[in-house]
A and B are shown apart, each in its own frame.
Chain A
Amino acid sequence: MISLESLNRALQHWLQSTLGDPWAYLVMCVLVGLAAITLFAVLGLALVYMERKVAALMQIRMGPNRVGPKGIFQTSADTLKLVMKEGLTPDGADKFLFNFAPFLVMIAAMLVLAPIAFARNFQIWDLNIGVLYVAAVSSIAVIGILMAGWSSNNKYSLLGAMRSAAQIVSYELSAGLAILSIVVLAGSLRISDIIASQADGWWIIKGHVPALIAFVIFLIAVTAETNRAPFDLAEAESELTAGFHTEYSGMKFALFFLAEYINIFIGCAIGATLFFGGWMPFHIGHWEAFNRVMDYIPSSLWFLGKTLFLIFLIMWFRWTFPRLRVDQLLNLEWKYLLPISMINLLFITLMAILGWHL
């Protein structure tokens, strides 16, 4: 059966046999880079399209339906428009920081891609501290947002950036604790190990109620960390017009926009990996026939399906809820999510010690 894994193997084998070791490695690196950039572009376009369609259907509209069949090329056309537009740098702005910020945000989003397992044995880098790496690197993005807000020399941007910083720094905590609870259950930080530990059932099922609570908290934290409604205070168009990217235009704006969607994808991919077993198919105990059928679905599809489901959930939130106020946002984190996730972590540790999850 053709799978991403076997394709990867074959390519690697072929390169090594024709080019020799160091060159093959270099070519692989370039190919991975290209693949990552392509993935980003495709993901960005697809997710923006999906968002617009989901929003439209919830708002009893039709959504994009003019460019291409069912409007699938609408986002490409929009991107083309953004590329053609002038990327204006305001006079009073700090030129270097202003132009660098979108790239920093983008780079941070790209780095997090490394340890994510897209399919069975298909990973850029199976790092032994994979989950920790994700949690650490994803918070670099806040520096880019702060830079953008500060260097724009615009008060709306500044307020947006400050809000964003306060928000991301706080929500990192409960996201971290939610991740930690799965690490406690799985007993490893390595992503492939975490997935392997879910071969006989996903953590959201095996982990009973505490895992469910951890999942809800994780989902809220991811929504907040990616600055999406109801936590989109950094942008908050009815208050700060566009928040930290008020002054950005053209491709630089598009990079922020793209990074937002990439971050959602990555957040949801991590969520799917931790709670829904990543590429692991859905198995039920001893139903051998059922499990076989499930195995027949390619692992990459399992991963993509779970991730898209989580992305859909986050979009659902966005198109249903009003935005929180900045003090309520911090209250929610420090008075509700953090205490709950701490106690929850204790429960999970207890569960892990007593071996209830097995």
Chain B
Amino acid sequence: MLEEIGTNDQGDMIINIGPQHPSTHGVLHLVITLNGETVKKVEPHLGYIHRSIEKMCESLNYRQFIYVTSRMDYLSSHINNHACALCVEQGLQLEIPSRAQVIRVLLDELTRIASHQLWWGALAMDLGAFTPFFYAFREREMINEIMEETCGARLTMNYIVPGGLMMDVHPDFQRKVKAFLVQFRSKIHEYDELVTGNVIFQSRTKGVGILSKEDAISYGCTGPTGRGSGVSCDIRKLYPYEIYQQLQFDEVLEQGGDSFARYKVRIGEMIQSMNIIEQLIDNIPEGDFQAKTKAVLKLPKGDFYSRVETARGELGVYIISEGGTTPYRIKFRSPGFSNLSALDHMSRGGKIGDLMATMGTLDLVIPDIDR
């Protein structure tokens, strides 16, 4: 392939970045056209980690298919499961006990923090600083331990079942979460000292990969990518699910549209998530953790759509049911796919280093894009 398209008619160099490349965070394949160091075109090629999750889900029943979605956006797997469970519950018209709702939201926000922490370390690594990665993982480990204790797994939790939760939270849950909050609040200034305030980091990200508000809307960018461009797109605010309506938190918005704006949105979101957790952690209501459901779930004929805010943006789950025990057709609207589509637009005219900075702040998770 390299031999055939070494250069194009204008004498520009064509380089394959990926599918095995340190900064594509997985098997993303970018064919970039370069004029010297300047990026003229970025063409993402997908399909290296396509597992046809949507098709697989059609042969699994409504209890089984949820676990597969942990493998899409593996950094917010809990939130993926949540989205699927919401869709099934919508079809079943189930009333979820408030204890289950609160715990779901708590774990959602913990997942969001963990995902953003990993992103923070990985972004710094993309920009050439290795040390932040380890500092990020130190705090992320605490969340992983909480997850391990309550859900039994660190990454692909599969803790949510239609109707509530698989089991009750661990007795130590509240104490551990509080300890995490104390620890993370005491360490978050390191994020500023080491990365945010660093002049090199700022000059690498400010004014880089600019996505205007209009473009963000037309590309369908959601999550921190959209909010970095000033698009108010937080599903937790716009279409509140579970108990988000009763919670006090701000939608972090930045108007810059550049990589630094997206960076600041994510840092702000971590703090907002901590605020949400602080509101809830002492107020977990007593009661059941699971609603009464039938052994075999059957959705009525029709189509159902639910959406949640994952760490990367809006995840939509669309189920068409024929009334059977398995979905007739299922479709996920993954945030990474739309965000990636804006990459070409954002990185044109920048340097190769800018492309990496832009890609880093898009926070791509390739299995989420490919599914």
Inter-subunit contact B129/A321 (CB<8 Å): yes
In the complex, which of the residues A61, A155, A320, A325 contacts B204, with contact meaning CB atoms closer than 8 Å? A325
User: Is A288 an interface residue when CB atoms closer than 8 A count as contact?
Assistant: no
Inter-subunit contact A325/B353 (CB<8 Å): yes
- Which chain B residues numbered 300 to 357 have a C-beta less than 8 Å away from chain A? 351-356
- Which chain B residues numbered 195 to 247 have a C-beta less than 8 Å away from chain A? 195, 198, 200-201, 203-204
Inter-subunit contact A156/B15 (CB<8 Å): yes
Inter-subunit contact A322/B204 (CB<8 Å): yes
Inter-subunit contact B130/A323 (CB<8 Å): no
Inter-subunit contact A320/B353 (CB<8 Å): no
A229 partner residues in chain B, CB cutoff 8 A: 128-129
Inter-subunit contact B15/A238 (CB<8 Å): no
Alpha-carbon gap, A233 to B37, bound state (A): 12
In the complex, which of the residues A58, A163, A232, A239 contacts B23, with contact meaning CB atoms closer than 8 Å? A239
**A155-B13, A238-B356 are known contacts. Are A321 and B130 too (CB-CB below 8 A)?**
no
Alpha-carbon gap, A343 to B129, bound state (A): 32
Inter-subunit contact A61/B200 (CB<8 Å): no
A61 partner residues in chain B, CB cutoff 8 A: 134
Inter-subunit contact A159/B130 (CB<8 Å): no
A159 partner residues in chain B, CB cutoff 8 A: 34, 37, 352
Residue of B nearest to A61 (CB): B134
Inter-subunit contact B22/A241 (CB<8 Å): yes
Inter-subunit contact A239/B356 (CB<8 Å): yes
Q: How many A-B residue pairs have CB under 8 A?
A: 85
B34 partner residues in chain A, CB cutoff 8 A: 159
Interface residues in B, total, Cβ within 8 A: 33
Residue of B nearest to A237 (CB): B22
Alpha-carbon gap, A8 to B135, bound state (A): 49
Alpha-carbon gap, A2 to B355, bound state (A): 59
A321 partner residues in chain B, CB cutoff 8 A: 128-129, 198, 200
Inter-subunit contact A322/B200 (CB<8 Å): yes
B127 partner residues in chain A, CB cutoff 8 A: 238, 322-323
Inter-subunit contact A238/B135 (CB<8 Å): no
Inter-subunit contact B138/A238 (CB<8 Å): no
- Which chain A residues numbered 285 to 344 have a C-beta less than 8 Å away from chain B? 319-328
Alpha-carbon gap, A328 to B208, bound state (A): 13
Alpha-carbon gap, A239 to B21, bound state (A): 8
Question: In the complex, what's the smallest C-beta–C-beta distance from A44 to chain B, in angstroms?
Answer: 21
Alpha-carbon gap, A198 to B2, bound state (A): 58
Inter-subunit contact A155/B124 (CB<8 Å): no
Interface range on chain A (Cβ under 8 Å from partner): 20 to 34
Question: In the complex, what's the smallest C-beta–C-beta distance from B77 to chain A, in angstroms?
Answer: 26
B23 partner residues in chain A, CB cutoff 8 A: 238-239
Q: Which of A58, A61, A320, A325 has the most CB of B within 10 A?
A: A325
- Which chain A residues numbered 135 to 160 have a C-beta less than 8 Å away from chain B? 155-156, 159
In the complex, which of the residues B13, B15, B131, B204 contacts A58, with contact meaning CB atoms closer than 8 Å? B131
Alpha-carbon gap, A236 to B195, bound state (A): 18
Alpha-carbon gap, A39 to B120, bound state (A): 41
A324 partner residues in chain B, CB cutoff 8 A: 200, 203-204
**A320-B194, A322-B124, A325-B354 are known contacts. Are A60 and B129 too (CB-CB below 8 A)?**
no
- Which chain A residues numbered 203 to 260 have a C-beta less than 8 Å away from chain B? 229-230, 232-233, 236-241
In the complex, which of the residues B125, B195, B201 contacts A238, with contact meaning CB atoms closer than 8 Å? B125
Inter-subunit contact A60/B134 (CB<8 Å): yes
In the complex, which of the residues B135, B194, B352 contacts A240, with contact meaning CB atoms closer than 8 Å? B352
Alpha-carbon gap, A236 to B22, bound state (A): 10
Alpha-carbon gap, A232 to B353, bound state (A): 12
Residue of A nearest to B203 (CB): A328
Main secondary structure on A side of the interface with B: loop
Question: In the complex, what's the smallest C-beta–C-beta distance from B161 to chain A, in angstroms?
Answer: 38
User: Is A38 an interface residue when CB atoms closer than 8 A count as contact?
Assistant: no
User: Is B108 an interface residue when CB atoms closer than 8 A count as contact?
Assistant: no
User: Is B258 an interface residue when CB atoms closer than 8 A count as contact?
Assistant: no
- Which chain A residues numbered 3 to 46 have a C-beta less than 8 Å away from chain B? none
Residue of B nearest to A233 (CB): B353
In the complex, which of the residues B134, B200, B354 contacts A323, with contact meaning CB atoms closer than 8 Å? B200
User: Is A93 an interface residue when CB atoms closer than 8 A count as contact?
Assistant: no
Question: In the complex, what's the smallest C-beta–C-beta distance from B260 to chain A, in angstroms?
Answer: 13
Inter-subunit contact B354/A319 (CB<8 Å): no
Residue of B nearest to A163 (CB): B37
Inter-subunit contact A59/B130 (CB<8 Å): yes
Alpha-carbon gap, A319 to B128, bound state (A): 9
Residue of B nearest to A320 (CB): B131
- Which chain A residues numbered 43 to 71 have a C-beta less than 8 Å away from chain B? 55, 58-61
Residue of A nearest to B353 (CB): A325
Residue of B nearest to A321 (CB): B200
User: Is B368 an interface residue when CB atoms closer than 8 A count as contact?
Assistant: no
User: Is B126 an interface residue when CB atoms closer than 8 A count as contact?
Assistant: yes
B126 partner residues in chain A, CB cutoff 8 A: 238
Inter-subunit contact A322/B201 (CB<8 Å): yes
A55 partner residues in chain B, CB cutoff 8 A: 130-131
Inter-subunit contact B138/A232 (CB<8 Å): no
- Which chain B residues numbered 118 to 165 have a C-beta less than 8 Å away from chain A? 124-131, 133-135, 138
Question: In the complex, what's the smallest C-beta–C-beta distance from B221 to chain A, in angstroms?
Answer: 23
Inter-subunit contact B134/A322 (CB<8 Å): no
Q: What 0/1 readout, one digit per residue, does chain A (159-172) give for beta carbons within 8 Å of chain B?
A: 10001000000000
Alpha-carbon gap, A324 to B208, bound state (A): 13
Inter-subunit contact A241/B21 (CB<8 Å): yes
Alpha-carbon gap, A237 to B22, bound state (A): 7
Inter-subunit contact A322/B195 (CB<8 Å): yes
Inter-subunit contact B128/A238 (CB<8 Å): yes
Question: In the complex, what's the smallest C-beta–C-beta distance from A337 to chain B, in angstroms?
Answer: 15
Residue of B nearest to A60 (CB): B134
Alpha-carbon gap, A229 to B201, bound state (A): 13
**A239-B23, A325-B354 are known contacts. Are A319 and B200 too (CB-CB below 8 A)?**
no
A155 partner residues in chain B, CB cutoff 8 A: 2, 13, 15
Contacts beyond the supplied A325-B351, A327-B37: 17 A-B pairs with Cβ under 8 Å: A58-B131, A59-B131, A59-B134, A60-B138, A155-B2, A159-B37, A159-B352, A229-B129, A237-B22, A239-B353, A320-B131, A322-B124, A322-B198, A323-B129, A327-B351, A328-B203, A328-B204
Pairs A-B, 7 closest by C-beta atoms: A323-B128, A322-B127, A238-B23, A322-B129, A59-B134, A325-B353, A238-B126
Sample of 30 A–B contacts (CB below 8 Å): A55-B131, A59-B130, A60-B135, A60-B138, A155-B13, A159-B34, A159-B37, A159-B352, A229-B128, A230-B128, A233-B353, A236-B128, A238-B126, A238-B127, A239-B23, A239-B355, A240-B352, A319-B131, A320-B129, A320-B131, A321-B200, A322-B201, A322-B204, A323-B200, A325-B351, A325-B354, A326-B351, A327-B37, A328-B203, A328-B204
